[in-house]
Amino acid sequence: VDVRDRTVRFHTARGEAVAVNHVSFDVRSGEVLGLIGESGCGKSVTLRALMKLLPPARTTITGGVQVDGRDVLAMNERELGDYRGGTTAMIFQDPALALDPVYTIGQQIGEAVQRHTGCSKAQARDRAQALLEQVKVPSARSRLDNYPHEMSGGMRQRAMIALALSCNPKLVLADEPTTALDATVQIQVLLIIRELQQRLGMSAVFVTHDLGVAAEICDRIAVMYAGRIVETGTVGDVLQRPQHPYTQALLASTIHGSMRGTRIDGIPGAPPDLTRLPAGCAFRERCSKAMAQCASEVPPHMPVHDGGQAACWLLANP
Ligand code: SF4
């Protein structure tokens, strides 16, 4: 995946909202990139733009997106049909909404397999069963005839992962795929995704606001704030040696076991209105280290740790 200078603007009743603002990143073959940040920072829009899933009448997209050497923005409807579910598959947050309630799990996976491989119905059903077994659904043969409402949340999410994998995608886009699950099921599903991603050698972009989930599954992390990427690096560097004040504040406000009895430092204030972005650094109003320069100019990306980058004037003027 090669995303260059991507900007996504939504035309809203209140004006133009810049949901993704000059974002660039790449994802190498077999790598998992985590997009993290608060709600509304542009993570999910960035992901949907990779699938060209945004409403064209109300959206302006600029910049380049190449996946597996192909320009996604230039694809016509037929090419997009092959790309979605073929080269690239998506796992959504809520399988209850993503799966079709009036078709069985077997019909939904089987249809995707037939659509992309042209195999027979019987072969597609066998492949659907094998996929359910891969994602550790017990009694996979009989589960093929279940409707989504006949399965638990965890089983539905596994079925959706099976659906996403049905055509051997090279890239999986996961939008908070475990947020709707309880904690024990969440870790089971995460381990399944990680194991399949490694075994099948797929690349993945994983959106989450949960730093624990990011630590579990990602190789590299891109931290987003107000539509921009403010820090990137390996998961170890970003989570253990954060360089950007926003990443530092995000980590300081995250709960973990060793913090029992201590007070959590929340981040004061709220992210800016995307229809009225301030000049300079968008984090300025909430940043305890802000300087005069932060109000006038957007900070450039500066190299930090091993191959990472962070966009903060403190790094440009050490
Ligand atoms: Fe804070 Fe300035 Fe760095 Fe923005 S550029 S994070 S306001 S110090």
The torsion angles phi and psi of 263, rounded to 5 degrees, stand at -85, 135
Average pLDDT over residues 277-289: 94
The CA distance from 63 to 6, in Å, is: 4
Whether residue 176 is predicted with pLDDT greater than 90 in this model: the reply is no
Average pLDDT over residues 2-18: 93
Residues 6+ apart with CB under 8 A from 101: 147, 148, 149
| 284 C-beta closer than 6 A to ligand 1 | yes
Q: Are 60 and 11 in contact (CB under 8 A)?
A: yes
The pLDDT mean for the chain works out to 90
Q: Nearest 10 degrees: CA dihedral of 110, 113, 119, 125?
A: -30
Per-residue model confidence as pLDDT tens digits over 187-212? 888 888 888 888 888 999 999 888 88
The CA distance from 313 to 291, in Å, is: 8
The CA distance from 239 to 221, in Å, is: 9
Average pLDDT over residues 253-282: 84
Nearest CA to ligand 1 atom 1: 290
Q: Count Cβ atoms below 10 Å from residue 159 Cβ, excluding itself.
A: 28
Ligand 1 atom having least distance to the Cα of 245: 6
User: Taking the CA atoms of the chain, what radius of gyration do you get in angstroms?
Assistant: 21
pLDDT for position 238? 95
Q: Are 219 and 31 in contact (CB under 8 A)?
A: yes
Beta strands in 27-163 (DSSP E): 32-36, 59-67, 70-71, 88-91
pLDDT for position 22? 94
pLDDT for position 53? 87
pLDDT for position 313? 96
| 299 C-beta closer than 6 A to ligand 1 | yes
Confidence of residue 246 (pLDDT cuts 50, 70, 90): very high
pTM of the predicted protein model: 0.90
pLDDT for position 207? 92
Tokens of 231: 């820090």
Average pLDDT over residues 88-115: 90
The CA distance from 223 to 310, in Å, is: 9
The CA distance from 36 to 211, in Å, is: 8
Confidence of residue 306 (pLDDT cuts 50, 70, 90): confident
What share of the chain has pLDDT > 90, as a percent?
58
Ligand 1 pocket test: pick from 230, 247, 250, 283 the residue with the most ligand atoms within 8 Å of its Cβ: 283
Ligand 1 atom having least distance to the Cα of 293: 2
pLDDT for position 318? 64
Buried/exposed 186-201: b ≥16 CB within 10 Å, e otherwise? beebbebbbebbeeee
Whether residue 133 is predicted with pLDDT greater than 80 in this model: the reply is yes
End-to-end CA distance of the chain: 33
| 289 C-beta closer than 6 A to ligand 1 | yes
| 245 C-beta closer than 6 A to ligand 1 | yes
Q: Are strands 2-12 and 88-91 parallel, antiparallel or unpaired?
A: unpaired
Ligand 1 pocket test: pick from 231, 284, 302, 304 the residue with the most ligand atoms within 8 Å of its Cβ: 284
- Taking the centre of ligand 1 as the mean of its atom positions, its distance from the CA of residue 288, in whole angstroms, is 8
Ligand 1 atom having least distance to the Cα of 299: 5
- Taking the centre of ligand 1 as the mean of its atom positions, its distance from the CA of residue 22, in whole angstroms, is 18
| 250 C-beta closer than 6 A to ligand 1 | no
Ligand 1 atom having least distance to the Cα of 294: 2
Whether residue 150 is predicted with pLDDT greater than 90 in this model: the reply is yes
Whether residue 183 is predicted with pLDDT greater than 90 in this model: the reply is no
Confidence of residue 52 (pLDDT cuts 50, 70, 90): confident
Average pLDDT over residues 36-51: 90
- Taking the centre of ligand 1 as the mean of its atom positions, its distance from the CA of residue 35, in whole angstroms, is 20
Average pLDDT over residues 221-242: 96
- Taking the centre of ligand 1 as the mean of its atom positions, its distance from the CA of residue 176, in whole angstroms, is 28
| 61 C-beta closer than 6 A to ligand 1 | no
Average pLDDT over residues 276-298: 94
Q: Are 49 and 305 in contact (CB under 8 A)?
A: no
Write out the DSSP string of 14-42. TEEEEEEEEEEEE--TT-EEEEE-STTSS
| 25 C-beta closer than 6 A to ligand 1 | no
